[in-house]
Structure 1
Amino acid sequence: MNKKIQIVLIGVSLLSMIGCNFDVPDRTRSIQTSETIEESKKRGVFFAEYRPNREIIKKAWVEIPWVYDTHGNTVKYEGQILYINSKDSIGLSRTWERCMNGDTSNGNIGNGERYLIFRLTEEELSKDTLIYYIYGGKKRKCMGELQLIKKK
């Protein structure tokens, strides 16, 4: 008797999982991050690449936020976001004073890499050089200027 109940419960569980799409994550609702600059260019969301002057930063680029639609196509949103791929958890501030007070933008996300997400204004995008202050590294302190130089 117990074995029959067990089989029925397992069957119901499997059917509910398959019927509710537990096996396929829905990627249509959340903002996606391109894993590489090349992928960003391929999807048509790439805006600019920047060359960081700090060793803790691996790469940095700006792209237009995007999601998948129900057919798996890329849909762009308004604005531009700076993605910084770092070797360690970091924060970013627009002023030295904010950095010293610990007022930083911390936005590391998954995908096997560490990304700091920072929304840029139109004024910031119009400049060739952006100066920010990074907080983090092994000593967890402000490390001075991070210059991101737009590649032409």
Structure 2
Amino acid sequence: MNKKIQIVLIGVSLLSMIGCNIDIPDKTSSVQVSETIEESKARGVFLAEYKPNREIIKKAWAENPWVYDTLVNIRKSKGFRLYILSKDSIGLSDSWLECEQGDTSNGTISMGIEYLIFELTEEELSKDTLIYYIYGGKKRKCMGELQLIKKK
């Protein structure tokens, strides 16, 4: 009798998993971010790498946001994004006044990694240098200028 109940329960579980598409993740539901600059280049979405002059920033690069299409091919999304991975939680502002007031862009979590994400305009992307003001670090204050320099 116990074996019959087990078989029925296993059958119902399998049918519900297949019927509800539990085993197939929807990869088109959110924009993806590359975990490394090399991955960004391999996927064909890389736009520029930036070298920060503050040690709190681990790496920063710009890429075209991307998603998987239904055939699991990479499809570029619209716009340009700057991704900044830091050693500590920080915020960035585009002016000193905003930075002092704590008016900053904060990190967002993507693929389990915490990034600061900025939408870039075509004009900003074409510049060799972007200047932002960094807020945070151990003292939680405005630390001045963060200069992001595009590597050529």
TM-score (norm 2): 0.88
The aligned residue for residue 57 of structure 1 is 57
Distance (whole Å) between structure 1 residues aligned to residue 3 and residue 136 of structure 2: 56
Which residue pairs with 1:82 in the alignment?
Answer: 82
Task: Write out the 4+ residue segments of structure 1 that deviate beyond 4 Å after TM superposition.
Answer: 1-11
Find the aligned partners of 2:126 and 2:33 in 1 and give their Cα distance.
23
Which has a greater percent of strand? Answer: 2
In structure 1, the residue matched to 2:137 is 137
Listed as ranges, the gaps of 5+ residues in structure 2 are none
Aligned residues: 152
Q: Are 2:37 and 1:37 aligned?
A: yes
More divergent stretch after superposition (32-41 vs 134-143): 134-143
**8 A contact 1:88–1:114 mirrored in 2:** no
* Stretch deviating more after TM superposition (99-108 or 5-14): 5-14
Over 3 Å counting, the alpha-carbon distance change for 1:24 and 1:56 in structure 2 is farther
Evaluate the alpha carbon distance shift between residue 65 and residue 11 of structure 1 in structure 2; reply closer, same or farther with a 3 A threshold.
Answer: same
Corresponding residue of 2:126? 126
Task: Specify whether residues 78 and 7 from structure 1 end up closer, same or farther in structure 2 by C-alpha distance, changes over 3 A only.
Answer: same
Instruction: Tell me how far 1:128 sits from its aligned partner.
Output: 0.9
% of aligned pairs identical?
Answer: 79
TM-score (norm 1): 0.88
1:133 and 1:85 map into 2 onto residues whose CA distance is 15
> In angstroms, what is the RMSD of aligned CA positions?
2.1
Alpha-carbon deviation of 1:77?
Answer: 1.6
Counterpart of 1:91, as a letter, is G
**SS of structure 2 residue aligned to 1:142:** strand
Counterpart for residue 111 of structure 2: 111
Q: Secondary structure at the match of 1:114?
A: strand
Structure 1 residues 15 and 125, CA gap change in structure 2 (3 angstroms): same
Which stretch shows the higher mean deviation, 9-18 or 75-84?
Answer: 9-18
Native 8 Å contact 1:89 1:108 kept in 2 = no
Tell whether the 8 Å contact from 2:62 to 2:81 is kept in structure 1 after alignment.
yes
Which residue number in structure 2 is paired with residue 26 of structure 1? 26
